[in-house]
Amino acid sequence: MENRIIVSYTAFKAKDNFWEASAAERSEIMKGLLDNLKPLSEMTSHYQVFPTRTEFDFFTWLTDIYTDTNSPNAFYEQLAMAINPYRQYFNVPYILTGLTNPSVYSRAKSKQEIEPFEDERTTYFVIYPFSKTTAWYLKSREERQEMMNHHIKIGKQFREIKQLLLYSYGIQDQEFIVAYEMEDLALFSNLVRDLRSTVARDYTLLDTPIITGLHRSPDALVNVMVGNLVGVEPL
């Protein structure tokens, strides 16, 4: 990931008039929205959220390359133009957006870093906003590095789990956006438990809401929102 990239995780919540429409109408609406979003990104991925949370039905992960200072302006304008025709059917209650940046605590690129432009995505994708306390920034560079070394060491014990860190300083309320990809949700839960036992946890100001996404192809997401059980394995 040589160049900086812009990322948007855009969450959607269907309005009552969407659910009151016929299955055929819901399918047409969903396909229209997803078709509008696809050209905005070199890689577009969709994630079912409900029933892991009730505030959102699904979110879309969009990624673009930061080529010049106008890149964010153009990206956000196109995103708004793609969504606005469908706001009669969907609320957009939550958008997390930020930029990639080299880590100040790790010189080498991690083998566990998510490659945003890969075609293959894992089943589970967890995202959340993150901010540190003022006390963290007032510590010396050496003290922060020591605590982060322990944090990084724990992460390396869970090699099946990949991470993408975005920086949102001055762009949104949070300082970072953390994203994890994995096939084993229980293993990820263990990772979070272990990370919360570190000293660095004392300096966490914000790490919610945690949004667990279930990767869906466009057709599969349409089926979920329409209520078709195509491709769903029986319990």
Nearest CA-CA partner of 79 in 145, 127, 137, 8: 8
Chain position carrying tokens 């008039």: 17
- Quickly list H helices, 52-175: 71-83, 134-138, 141-156
pLDDT tens figures, 35-88: 999 999 988 999 999 999 999 999 999 999 999 999 999 999 999 999 999 999
19: pLDDT confidence band, cut at 50, 70 and 90?
Answer: very high
Q: How far is CA 59 from CA 15, 119, 149, 213, in A?
A: 15, 18, 32, 8
How would residue 102 be classed by pLDDT, with cut points 50, 70 and 90?
confident
Q: Could you give the CA distance from residue 156 to residue 4 in angstroms, rounded to a whole number?
A: 24
Query: What pLDDT, in 10s, does the model give residues 157-166?
Result: 999 999 999 9
For the chain, the domains span: 5-226
Show the tokens assigned to 38.
């696809």
Give the architecture-level CATH label for domain 5-226: 2-Layer Sandwich (3.30)
- Its pTM stands at 0.92
The pLDDT-based confidence of 234 (bands split at 50, 70, 90) is very low
Per-residue pLDDT, 181? 97
Structure tokens belonging to residue 9: 């995780």
